[in-house]
Amino acid sequence: MKQLLKNTDGRRIKFAHQFSQSLRYYFNKNDITNRNNGESKLNEAGKDEPLRQADNRVSNNYHQLLVDQEAGYVATVPPSIDVEDEALNDKVKDALGDNFNLRLNQMVVDASNAGVAWLHYWIDEDGQFRYGIVPPDQVVPIYSSDLDRKLLALRRSYKQLNPDTGKFFRVHEYWTDKDVTVFKSGTADYNDLSLYDDRFNIYDVTSGDETGTSAVLHHDLGRIPFIAFPKNKYRRPELLKYKGLIDVYDNVYNGFVNDVDDIQQVILVLTNYGGEDLASFMKALKEDHAIKMDNVGTGDKSGVDKLTIDIPVEARNSLLEMTKTDIFVHGQGVNPVDFKDIGNASGTAIKALYGHLELKAANTEAYFRDALTELIRAILTWLGVADADSRAITQTWTRTAIQNDLEQAQIVAQLAQYTSDEAIAKANPIVEDPQQELRDRQDNIVKHDGYDNQEALNQVGGDGDDDEE
């Protein structure tokens, strides 16, 4: 285990560095604020220069905007899961829980910042299926070297506080498809690595009494209970696509703010001043609004000049606007400014605004689909479904976007008689849960048919109790 930890440390440290950098930008602590320990600050007198005193450092939070934009677009409404059995659908939905959409949203955010999000599932002491999101920088997967890329084992490392000493130590879990073995260490070189013997309690299955502790737990899940939710093929953080552009924007923006502050600094250049000292000069300028100068005749250059800063406003505005546009293009997002004149635009025009975001979201969905299918199969296995590993699973993902509901409703109305009830329920702009809508509609039909039958009986004077009537 010591050798495995050393061999995987290089990959873990590089991954953790990229994730940490993404988190800094996600929390609006861009490189421009490094001098201020990640805090945006205005400092009008931060430099010891006569004309260039301002050193403002304000961070622009485009990274969080782009990440949260996709997370909200993809995961605000959780995907609908269909395992071709209505009763099983309800059980799967219960196992995923009411906050599944929040967890999916967090995994999109984690995957954007780290390149991959990780989910861990287990069976609790009450026999219930549980799952949680693991911070990506805690996990180091170990895959096979063939094209199948099977997950052979997994390392999870994290800090834990020792309540007796008040010091932190590191816990290292080594997972296989059969068990997990837990180690602990306090040094970076792992020379004090040892088994974490009191990590798990051991119980007698017959009496239920605790018989001791162990560093090994047999989970009997049949597979490693960790699921990767990759953001893209190479599991690269989104920030790497546009970090340079954000840094350019920060530099130009803050340079602009600095110049606005510095323009108030004016240096007067006196040539052949006729006074005694600068104090008398400032007094005469303030009280008399006049300055005494010595002039020696023709060609004399006596007088007062001033040094000021000229601000290339148009050039900087153009560069800021161009850089901001490139940030949204390379980040595949939607610039909120584009919606200010949207009015009653058609559905096609609105979709065009979401074009780049939809491409990114569709790619994220493609990789998340496989991971979510693996989670659903784990739930089906826990439920005791015989064909859990082969049963067809259908996922229906819903985008959260501005849309023309009237136009969408008109399309649904026109196609209603030619399209299945399920397709209509999914396309209906006022329906959030298509499966529940279908059940409600069926209940309404039954009630309506029963009412019509009773009305027909009343019209012929019968109550339906006598066969001859």
- Asked whether residue 131 is assigned to any structural domain, the reply reads yes
Q: Per-residue pLDDT tens for 66-90?
A: 999 999 999 999 999 999 999 999 9
Least confident interval from 164-168, 227-231, 322-326, 411-415: 411-415
Whether residue 179 is found in the same domain as residue 247: no
pLDDT band at 290 (very low <50, low <70, confident <90, very high): low
Whether residue 183 is found in the same domain as residue 263: no
Least confident interval from 16-20, 113-117, 152-156, 417-421: 417-421
Whether the per-residue pLDDT at 464 is higher than 50: the answer is: no
Whether the per-residue pLDDT at 95 is higher than 70: the answer is: yes
When pLDDT is averaged across residues 378-400 and rounded to a whole number, the result is: 94
Whether residue 214 is found in the same domain as residue 286: no
Whether the per-residue pLDDT at 351 is higher than 90: the answer is: no
Whether the per-residue pLDDT at 22 is higher than 80: the answer is: yes
Q: Per-residue pLDDT tens for 401-448?
A: 765 456 567 777 887 887 888 778 777 777 777 778 788 877 777 666
pLDDT band at 261 (very low <50, low <70, confident <90, very high): confident
Choose one of 230, 249, 283: the last residue of a domain. 230
- Asked whether residue 78 is assigned to any structural domain, the reply reads no
Top-confidence residue, 461 or 251: 251
pLDDT at 34: 95
Least confident interval from 33-47, 213-227, 326-340, 403-417: 403-417
* Residue ranges making up the domain that contains 424: 405-469
Least confident interval from 235-239, 257-261, 433-437: 433-437
Top-confidence residue, 93 or 342: 93
pLDDT at 24: 98
Both structure tokens of 370: 């496989």
3-state SS, residue 165: coil
Whether residue 244 is found in the same domain as residue 226: no
pLDDT at 416: 80
Whether the per-residue pLDDT at 312 is higher than 90: the answer is: no
Whether residue 289 is found in the same domain as residue 220: no
pLDDT band at 284 (very low <50, low <70, confident <90, very high): low
- Asked whether residue 2 is assigned to any structural domain, the reply reads no
Whether residue 458 is found in the same domain as residue 435: yes
Whether residue 226 is found in the same domain as residue 175: yes
- Asked whether residue 247 is assigned to any structural domain, the reply reads yes
Choose one of 281, 304, 330: the last residue of a domain. 330
- Asked whether residue 38 is assigned to any structural domain, the reply reads no
Whether residue 134 is found in the same domain as residue 226: yes
**Which amino acid makes up residue 165?**
T
pLDDT at 345: 59
Whether residue 411 is found in the same domain as residue 467: yes
Measured CA distances, 105 to 74, 97, 159, 258 (Å): 8, 14, 25, 38
Q: Per-residue pLDDT tens for 130-146?
A: 999 999 999 999 999 99
Whether residue 224 is found in the same domain as residue 244: no
Considering the chain, what is the average pLDDT of its residues? 85
Q: 10 Å Cβ neighbour count for 147?
A: 6
Domain count of the chain?
3
- Asked whether residue 306 is assigned to any structural domain, the reply reads yes
Whether residue 452 is found in the same domain as residue 409: yes
pLDDT band at 272 (very low <50, low <70, confident <90, very high): low
Whether the per-residue pLDDT at 17 is higher than 70: the answer is: yes
Choose one of 186, 212, 230: the last residue of a domain. 230
* Inter-residue contact 273 to 293 (CB < 8 Å): yes
- Asked whether residue 17 is assigned to any structural domain, the reply reads no
- Asked whether residue 315 is assigned to any structural domain, the reply reads yes
Whether residue 178 is found in the same domain as residue 262: no
The torsion angles phi and psi of 261, rounded to 5 degrees, stand at: -70, -40
Looking only at the bridges linking them, the beta strands covering 167-175 and 80-82 are unpaired
Both structure tokens of 266: 């004016």
Question: Which is nearest to 182 in space by CA: 131, 217, 225, 211?
Answer: 217
